[in-house]
A and B are shown apart, each in its own frame.
Chain A
Amino acid sequence: MALIDLANPTRFVSLAERVLPWLIGATAIAFAVGLQQVYGAPDDYQQGATVKIMFIHVPSAWLSMLCWALMSAAALGTLVWRHPMADVAAKAAAPIGAAFTFLCLVTGSLWGRPMWGTYWVWDARLTSELVLLLMYLGLIALWRTVEDPSRASRAIAVLTLVGAINLPIIKFSVDWWNTLHQPASVFRIGGSTIDPSILVPLLVMALAFTLLFVTLHVAAMHNEILRRRVRTLMLLQAQAAPGSAT
């Protein structure tokens, strides 16, 4: 099957129903392996056992940004090619992105209290991540405000692309400003500063979270296509009803 075939909603639904059981299985295996590695990972020499929070905090943070990047790519698909699957992808991704951003903020806060002595500080990294959560919530509210998804999609696509400016701000905030949050320690010039005994479980958990995101996104896209079919049929039913204006 060519990639372009996936752009057909009917074909996507059929493919999603075949692929989802495999994705669920792969996600479960990745989490089983990841959690087993987390269990066996040593404590950090400075942070002690609280380093275990990193195994859920860092993948959540990565996914919070990856999800917005995906929505930005979908926004281009909506604005440039006006493809209906593009705004299906964006709409389905927004609640998942919001959930991972929320998880990133909460786990970061629970990690910060024992390590920094505070749950929250208005530094650039934390504030820009909070702004990302507010942007997700704004988009979800906008999707719910406009009843016709095709009318909502173009306005939301523009807002999504404008919001993408926050991604480099989040990423480089720790370099541009003096923050309490530590600088990048996994993907950085000169290699990771994390010992392999902690880095490997982190990467396995990141893979598990990414598989979870893909599974949830495919399932949510499938649901969104069904929702649009329901809406179309309800409109047809209303038009066919006796006394209808048309």
Chain B
Amino acid sequence: MNLGSHADFIVAAYGVAVLVIALLVGWVVLDRRAQKNKLAQLEAGGMTRRSERAVERTA
């Protein structure tokens, strides 16, 4: 593919797009991992939500 005399601008635009999308995906994945870890730690410490306690009582 010949990008002509303005190849630098085209490559830079696609590079920025890849970077921004990678940052968005990274943010979502790392945030998910962090929240799941925090939730697991709290639940391991005996903390449960009201709705979950109600389910446990009726079981």
Contacts and interface: CB of A to CB of B under 8 A. Distances in A.
Interface of A: 10, 39, 43, 48-50, 52-53, 56-57, 60, 95-96, 99, 102-103, 106-107, 110-111, 113-114, 212, 216, 219-220, 222-223, 226-227, 229-230, 232-234, 236-237, 240
B2 interface: yes
B31 A223 contact: yes
A95 B30 CA distance: 15
B12 interface: yes
B36 A237 contact: no
Contacts of B14: 52, 56
B57 interface: no
Contacts of A110: 9-10, 12-13, 16
A222 B1 contact: no
A139 to B, nearest CB: 16
Interface string B29-59: 0011001101100110101110100000000
Contact of A223 (B13, B28, B48): B28
Contacts of A230: 35, 38-39, 42
Contacts of B20: 99, 102-103
A52 B3 contact: yes
A70 to B, nearest CB: 16
Contact of B24 (A10, A57, A99): A99
A107 B28 contact: no
Closest 3 CB pairs of A and B: A226-B35, A114-B6, A233-B42
A96 B35 CA distance: 19
A163 B35 CA distance: 31
Contacts of A48: 4-6
Interface residues of B, number: 34
A107 to B, nearest CB: 5
Contact of B16 (A103, A219, A236): A103
Interface of B: 1-7, 9-10, 12-14, 16-17, 20-21, 23-25, 27-28, 31-32, 35-36, 38-39, 42-43, 45, 47-49, 51
A232 B49 contact: yes
A95 B21 contact: no
Contacts of A106: 13, 16
B9 A113 contact: yes
A120 B47 CA distance: 54
B33 to A, nearest CB: 10
8 contacts: A50-B9, A52-B10, A220-B28, A226-B35, A226-B36, A230-B38, A233-B49, A236-B47
